[in-house]
A and B are shown apart, each in its own frame.
Chain A
Amino acid sequence: MIINHPLLGPRDANEFVHLGDESLIDRPDGMADDAANKFHNYMYLRDNPAGKYRELWYHDAGDRSWLVVTRDTLTHEIFDVELARDVARARGRSK
């Protein structure tokens, strides 16, 4: 596969490490009252779509960016590649 890195252009997928669902960005607040439940869902519940899927990849042998890759799990077509840091900020994460 080729991943079109937003800063570097097309790079072979063998430079990357795959992690999983984009929702891993949405880590709950550990000090909240219902933290235990929220963390259970965060850790163990995933969609498993046959089709478009947003997932985290890490450019391990490259610029060490975490990326959010939107990929079709059936055809491997890649629709979009974003810097995960930008996605995280857009989803309200900060410090």
Chain B
Amino acid sequence: MARLSSLSPLNGYQKSIGSINLCEINDYSLVSLAIPQDTTKKFAKIIKDEFDLAMPTSVMSKTDKKTRLLMTQPDQIFSIIPRVDNPEEDLSKTIGKAAYMTDQTDAWVVLEISGATSRTALERICQVDLDSNMFKLNAMARTTMEHMATIIIRTDVNTFLLMSASSSAKSFLHAVELSAKHIS
């Protein structure tokens, strides 16, 4: 029997609107790591040893070229790693029992917005202050855009990753596209 083919929430969407570029990112796996009570130090050490990354904070993600860590709620960290088939299994090789793992790869849609006016477009839907002194490189926030829960991460001066629920991916894309159209 043929293996099941996969379909990303926006089917690899990519588009330029005015000076804004939008593109779906779907070459990653995402696993939530819940840190057992009273083991944060142990967990931080493993992160340091295995990924050579410091613990992320509630407002600042940590990244090297391969991995990005986000603290999404107290005691919960999202790790975004290159796409593998079974990321829970893959990560447990390194993290072992230092965290409870839940695959979240398919729960999210990730949209990258870039271009000189990306911030101006985001002003229409994002209530978080994206001023570069307030929201620095790799800063992250969990917030809401057009009534959809969203995680926003700054990856460059004018580049942001927007993560939202995969089931409403099309509504989310519409909200972002419309903002780009309204200002272009």
Contact = CB atoms under 8 A, between A and B. Distances in A.
A contacts B: CB pair < 8 Å? yes
A65 B76 CA distance: 11
Interface residues of A, number: 14
B73 interface: yes
Nearest to A10: B129
B74 A7 contact: yes
A9 B72 CA distance: 15
Contact of B72 (A12, A14, A63): A63
Contacts of B74: 7, 63, 65, 83, 85
Contact of B142 (A9, A12, A61, A83): A61
Interface residues of B, number: 11
Contacts of A26: none
B141 A8 contact: yes
Given A8-B58, A8-B59, A64 B143 contact: no
Contacts of B72: 63
Nearest to A5: B58
Interface of B: 58-59, 72-74, 127, 141-144, 149
21 contacts: A7-B58, A8-B58, A8-B59, A8-B141, A12-B127, A14-B127, A14-B144, A15-B143, A15-B144, A61-B143, A61-B144, A62-B142, A62-B143, A63-B58, A63-B72, A63-B73, A63-B74, A63-B142, A64-B73, A65-B74, A85-B74
